[in-house]
Amino acid sequence: MGTILITPRSLTRERHPAFSRIEDAGHEIVTSTPGVQPSEEELLELVPAVDGYLAGVEKISAKVLEAAKNLKVIGRNGVGIDNIDLEAAKRLTIKVCPTPGSNAQGVAELTIALMFSLARWIPFSSSELKAGDWSRRKGTELTGKTLGVIGCGNIGKRVAAAGAVLGMQVLGYDMYPDGSFSPSGFSWSSLEGILSGSDFVTLHCPSGNKPLIDSAAVSSMKKGAFLINTARAALVDEQAVITGLDSGRLAGYGVDVFDPEPPEDFTLAGHEKVIPTPHIGGFTKESVDRATVGAIEQILENIDG
């Protein structure tokens, strides 16, 4: 019998039906503090006894991995694994298994929802009216506008296809473009072309060593453009975005990802031109189900052979 650690907040808060697969296979389940992203200190207390680890977005450092003497596999209930020290995992022969595509539809739909919310300032209108104030901000229509999609993988393709259906001209950029992807209204572009020519820019790519959207990128964007980030906080220089919002270069920012989470500094999240959400892109019943089942299958396969 092995021990499986489960840490995603959506799974520690409420038991998922797929947990029975772990128990039916004869393994024990342990969880981190319910509903709370575990700290490194908590992980160091939990990992020494575990054989498998169903992980969320918490940072998994080399120190944590080195303390996990029996750990064989980390199953991620999502696609991003940049929170894990992959070099240490490889050195320690710990297999890291994401669940690609599991949350793609949920994140894509949130991206479109943020685009509509920015275009029509729906949260502002709702909160003002609830407060008894008949205040309005003039919106903009999406049809005929240009949508720039940076990163055209599972999520970006869905966003691009939805934008085309809405009557938008869609530009896509990817380091490894899929030539077979060519919906009506879509064309491939350079990164510079997207930034300078799009009314809405949305990010769906991995983060690198430095922010993709920095001061230079913001300055090169079309005046009055909207930016959306449902991918990774590290893709964006927050101060550059704030400066862009204050100057009018950016008309608004929709964001679902922060570092840390929840944010300690609410300057960006509290800005009047920002629509923030608390990392809910993959937080739908369907996405959680797909990601949980996929991660558990990966863990059991690697533990039980």
Answer yes or no: 58 catalytic: no
Write down the catalytic residue from 128, 261, 271, 297: 261
Answer yes or no: 23 catalytic: no
Q: Maximum distance among all alpha carbons in the chain?
A: 63
Q: What ranges make up the beta strands (E) of the chain?
A: 3-6, 28-31, 52-55, 73-76, 95-97, 146-150, 169-173, 186-188, 200-203, 225-229, 250-255, 274-276
Answer yes or no: 232 catalytic: yes
Instruction: Give one DSSP letter per residue of 121-189, joined into a string.
Output: THHHHHHHHHTT----------TT-EEEEE--SHHHHHHHHHHHHTT-EEEEE-SS--TT---TTEEE-
Q: Which two tokens stand for residue 81?
A: 């694994």
Q: Which two tokens stand for residue 134?
A: 């008949």
Backbone angles phi, psi at 196, to 5 degrees: -85, -20
Which of 174, 128, 168 shows the shortest CA–CA distance to 154? Answer: 174
Write down the catalytic residue from 9, 16, 158, 232: 232
Total residues belonging to the chain: 305
Which residues are designated catalytic?
A: 232, 261, 279
